[in-house]
């Protein structure tokens, strides 16, 4: 997947140019179909989802009159008039349409976000450092405690572990902190009119209007990311229609509410629908025998068959029989290895990326008290601890290299600041958050 930069510190997963049919079955818009098992770091870095870090708050403020006036676009107004006919032909009530489009304008900011998706290369270890940061694990444990009763009921009903549902929540909206606050109809209408993937967004827009027509949510409360993903676990409208559930029993599938119950249940329903097996891990870290090849990893075998080939758990014994599995080498043969089961593929139905699936799976494990990945990543440098990363960010900021947020997360803004600092002192501008860098910051 392509990662994109929006704003200074935040990175998100953009929309791809090829929206495969898989998109229709995925709760949120995706870039492109997955490329199967990733076996080298070089491939991995181009295929990482970093969308969960995306910014949701627009600095300019929606509803600001100057923004609205500046974005008036006669072509857009004509398009809306034409689209109304198509929407009504698909069963949308004219009054529902008019109410939904009240005050809706073409939003050039949305188009900017869609078009200016800068590439941001990210290694798997950097991705996991932030996707499964100590803060996110701790906040996940707190969120689970806070919503334990609802999550337990959801687990009992759908057979999806509360830790897994919580982990998706953490990845998608930082446990409800970042739902996206852009008016959905305006974002989708802008993207449908803009036309780069007009057919896809027009379909989402009609779906969004049907949701309004159903009375689940008002136009004022129907908010989302710039790309149309909505609520605590970021469903796009067609996925909402197909999979969202009312779990609170008030007759509304409210995935936007402060109460995340409907959204969390909808996520569990989605995972269940795509074959989640309760009790089966996403994956288990394993040891590989000497001479193991990346080609061998792609085979699908039972754990006992893998054990016969020398692929065993970290305890040296065969991995318990959780069903058929392949071997996932997120950073090639030099990094950690995992035996991954069918549930790994189920998580990928949420976002078709191996790295995302591993992020969700590992975050769920850690929320449940599981241990960190044991083998080390082939980073090629001596990494900093989480606290050291924050110290590095503080030191960069103090020296005038614009770090937006002291959060221990290495995003494009921090990497740019590292590079600028490195250039200023005449060392190679590799942008790596290494022990060497921190030492240099302390010295200079
Ligand atoms: Ca409800």
pLDDT digits (tens, 9 = 90+) for 162-195: 999 999 999 999 999 999 999 999 999 999 999 8
In a domain, 380, yes or no: no
Residue tagged active-site, from 155, 161, 163, 172: 172
Ligand 1 mean position, distance from CA 350 (Å): 22
430: left (phi over 0), alpha (psi -120 to 50) or beta: alpha
Average pLDDT (207-229) is: 96
Confidence category of residue 273, pLDDT binned at 50, 70, 90? very high
The Cα 350–Cα 360 span in angstroms is 10
Match 């692929």 to its residue by tokens: 311
What is the distance between the terminal CA atoms of the chain, rounded to a whole angstrom? 38
Instruction: Answer positive or negative: Cα dihedral of 156, 157, 158, 163.
Output: negative
pTM (two decimals): 0.82
pLDDT digits (tens, 9 = 90+) for 418-443: 999 999 999 999 999 999 999 999 99
Among residues 219, 244, 273, which one ends one of the domains?
A: 273
* Number of compact structural domains in the chain: 2
Residue 172 catalytic? Answer: yes
pLDDT at residue 115, as a whole number = 84
Ligand 1 mean position, distance from CA 212 (Å): 15
pLDDT at residue 71, as a whole number = 52
In a domain, 420, yes or no: yes
Average pLDDT (224-232) is: 95
The Cα 218–Cα 212 span in angstroms is 6
The Cα 42–Cα 122 span in angstroms is 10
Beta-bridged to residue 11, according to DSSP, are 5
- 70 plus 208 within the same structural domain: yes
pLDDT digits (tens, 9 = 90+) for 144-158: 999 999 999 999 999
Ligand 1 mean position, distance from CA 251 (Å): 6
In a domain, 185, yes or no: yes
C-alpha torsion 431→437→441→444, nearest 10: -100
Confidence category of residue 72, pLDDT binned at 50, 70, 90? confident
Ligand 1 mean position, distance from CA 154 (Å): 13
Q: What is the chain's Cα-based Rg?
A: 23
In a domain, 198, yes or no: yes
CATH number for 97? 1.10.8.350
Ligand 1 mean position, distance from CA 88 (Å): 27
In a domain, 398, yes or no: yes
Ligand 1 mean position, distance from CA 263 (Å): 9
Residue 242 pLDDT greater than 50, yes or no: yes
In a domain, 375, yes or no: no
pLDDT at residue 17, as a whole number = 26
Residues 6+ apart with CB under 8 A from 218: 212
What does the mean pLDDT of the chain come to? 85
- 264 plus 391 within the same structural domain: no
In a domain, 109, yes or no: yes
Match 């939003």 to its residue by tokens: 107
Residue 391: how many other CB atoms lie within 10 Å: 17
In a domain, 405, yes or no: yes
- 219 plus 78 within the same structural domain: yes
Residue 432, domain extent: 386-443
Crossing angle of helices 261-273 and 162-173, in 10° steps, is 110
The Cα 269–Cα 157 span in angstroms is 9
Residues 6+ apart with CB under 8 A from 319: 284, 286, 303, 306, 307, 311, 312, 313, 325, 339
Average pLDDT (80-92) is: 97
Q: Which of 60-74, 145-159, 301-315, 401-415 has the lowest mean pLDDT?
A: 60-74
Among residues 213, 241, 273, which one ends one of the domains?
A: 273
Give the Cα-Cα-Cα angle 268, 271, 277 (nearest 5 degrees). Answer: 100
pLDDT at residue 118, as a whole number = 56
Residues 6+ apart with CB under 8 A from 249: none
pLDDT at residue 23, as a whole number = 43
Among residues 240, 273, 306, which one ends one of the domains?
A: 273
Q: What is the DSSP string of 121-175?
A: ---HHHHHHHHT-HHHHHHHHHHHHHTHHHHHHHHHHH---HHHHHHHHHHHHTT
């Amino acid at each position: 997947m392509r990662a994109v930069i929006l704003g200074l510190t935040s990175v998100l997963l953009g929309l791809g140019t090829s929206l495969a049919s898989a998109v229709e079955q995925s709760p949120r818009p995706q870039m492109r179909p997955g490329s199967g098992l990733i076996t080298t770091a070089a491939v991995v870095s181009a295929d990482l989802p970093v969308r969960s870090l995306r910014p949701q708050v627009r600095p300019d403020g929606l509803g600001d009159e100057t923004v609205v006036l500046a974005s008036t676009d006669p072509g857009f107004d004509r398009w809306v008039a034409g689209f109304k006919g198509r929407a009504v032909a698909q069963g949308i009530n004219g009054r529902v349409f008019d109410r939904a489009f009240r005050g809706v304008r073409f939003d050039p900011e949305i188009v900017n976000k869609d078009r200016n998706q800068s590439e941001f290369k990210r290694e798997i270890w950097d991705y996991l450092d932030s996707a499964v940061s100590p803060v996110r694990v701790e906040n996940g444990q707190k969120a689970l405690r806070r919503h334990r009763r609802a999550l337990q009921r959801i687990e009992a009903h759908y057979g999806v572990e509360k830790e897994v549902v919580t982990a998706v929540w953490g990845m998608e909206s930082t446990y409800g902190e970042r739902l996206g606050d852009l008016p959905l109809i305006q974002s989708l209408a802008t993207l449908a009119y803009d036309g780069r993937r007009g057919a896809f967004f027009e379909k989402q827009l009609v779906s969004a209007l049907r949701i309004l027509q159903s009375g689940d949510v008002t136009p004022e409360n129907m908010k989302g990311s710039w790309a149309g993903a909505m609520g605590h676990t970021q469903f796009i409208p067609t996925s909402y229609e197909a999979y969202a559930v009312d779990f609170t029993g008030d007759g509304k599938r409210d995935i936007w509410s402060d109460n995340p119950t409907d959204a969390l249940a909808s996520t569990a329903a989605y995972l269940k629908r795509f074959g989640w097996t309760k009790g089966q891990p996403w994956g288990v870290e394993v040891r590989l025998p000497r001479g193991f090849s990346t080609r061998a990893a792609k085979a699908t075998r039972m754990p006992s068959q893998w054990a016969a080939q020398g692929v065993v758990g970290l305890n040296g014994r065969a991995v318990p029989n959780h069903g058929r599995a392949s071997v996932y080498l997120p950073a090639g043969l030099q990094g950690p290895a995992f035996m991954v089961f069918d549930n790994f593929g189920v998580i990928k139905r949420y976002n078709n990326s191996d790295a995302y699936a591993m992020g969700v799976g590992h975050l769920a494990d850690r929320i449940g008290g599981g241990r960190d990945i044991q083998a080390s990543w082939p980073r090629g440098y001596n990494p900093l601890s989480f606290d050291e990363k924050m110290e590095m960010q503080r030191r960069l900021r103090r020296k005038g290299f614009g770090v937006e947020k002291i959060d221990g997360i290495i995003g494009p803004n921090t990497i740019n600041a590292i590079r600028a600092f490195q250039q200023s002192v005449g060392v190679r501008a590799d942008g790596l958050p290494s022990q060497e860098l921190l030492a240099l910051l302390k010295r200079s």
